[in-house]
């Protein structure tokens, strides 16, 4: 059995399903995978379902009113502690009201000015620092994965990594997959990008696809560490 992207790539959810195991695939069914959203609405209307014209859900659908920050504040209240916005060269450029207001790659809303565009390159929850720098500092050359899952033809992801298997790596649901290859470095599964990849942060999911069949999901893992482009 294989996990594949939906026909409508704009609504594909495979990035979030990378942890689905081969055993689970044996009994999973996705009856809407071959239909686009307008077709699904049409079928629902024909069946007289009240939700046929229901508005699309946005952001995190299980968070009331899309207020995900309130949820994060409850789970990680320390993220609301004030701290400093620090340039990569060590300069303190300003302050912030909590690192949970920031994401890797963010440009807007920093409220600091140094004569050049700055982006969030790293978050340090221990020091409560939001580290900023030029866009080039966002480029990631490689990453390591934790809590991995594998749906490829090899026995497991470690075997694929040891063989240097080529993959398409997707680090965000809104970004297209990028060419890369797997490697086994000091016992850890690593993803080595052909060119620098932006917006990579520890804790995010990294979904892996087959370069020979880009609609096929091979698995993935959660990003543990990253290495910047030198």
List the chain domain ranges: 1-49+139-230, 68-137
CATH for the 68-137 domain, from 2.40.50.140, 2.30.30.280, 3.30.1330.20, 3.90.1260.10: 2.30.30.280
Print pLDDT tens along the chain (230 aa): 899 999 988 889 999 999 999 999 999 999 998 999 999 999 999 999 999 998 877 667 777 676 777 888 888 889 999 999 999 999 999 999 999 999 999 999 898 888 889 999 999 999 999 999 999 999 999 999 999 999 999 999 999 999 999 999 999 998 899 999 999 999 999 999 999 999 898 999 999 999 999 999 999 999 999 999 98
- Residue 56: exposed, middle, or buried by beta-carbon count in 10 A (0-12, 13-18, 19+)? exposed
pTM of the model: 0.87
pLDDT at 143: 97
Strand partners, 181: 166, 192
CATH class of the domain at 1-49+139-230:
mainly beta
pLDDT score for 58? 64
* Predicted pLDDT of residue 46: 95
Q: Is the dihedral of CA 193, 178, 211, 217 positive or negative?
A: positive
The contacts of residue 161 (CB under 8 Å, 6+ apart) are 182, 183, 184, 189, 190
């Amino acid at each position: 059995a294989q996990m594949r992207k939906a026909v409508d790539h704009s609504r594909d959810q495979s990035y979030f399903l990378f942890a689905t195991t081969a055993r689970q695939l044996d009994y999973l069914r996705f009856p809407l995978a071959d239909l686009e959203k307008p077709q699904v609405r049409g079928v629902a209307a024909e069946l007289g379902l009240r939700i046929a014209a229901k508005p699309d859900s946005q952001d995190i659908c299980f968070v009331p009113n899309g207020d995900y920050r309130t949820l994060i504040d409850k789970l990680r209240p320390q993220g609301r502690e004030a701290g400093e916005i620090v340039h990569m060269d060590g300069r303190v450029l300003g302050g912030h009201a909590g690192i949970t207001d920031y994401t890797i790659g963010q440009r807007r809303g920093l409220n600091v000015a140094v004569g050049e565009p700055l982006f969030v390159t790293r978050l340090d929850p221990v020091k409560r620092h939001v580290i900023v720098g030029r866009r080039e500092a966002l480029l990631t050359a490689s990453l390591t994965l934790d809590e991995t899952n594998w749906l490829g033809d090899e026995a497991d992801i470690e075997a694929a990594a040891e063989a240097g298997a080529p993959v398409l790596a997707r680090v965000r649901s809104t970004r297209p997959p990028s060419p890369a290859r797997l490697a086994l470095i000091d016992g850890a599964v690593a993803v080595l990008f052909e060119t620098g990849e932006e917006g990579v942060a520890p804790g995010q999911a990294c979904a892996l696809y087959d370069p020979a069949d880009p609609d096929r999901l091979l698995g993935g893992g959660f990003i543990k560490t990253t290495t910047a482009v030198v």
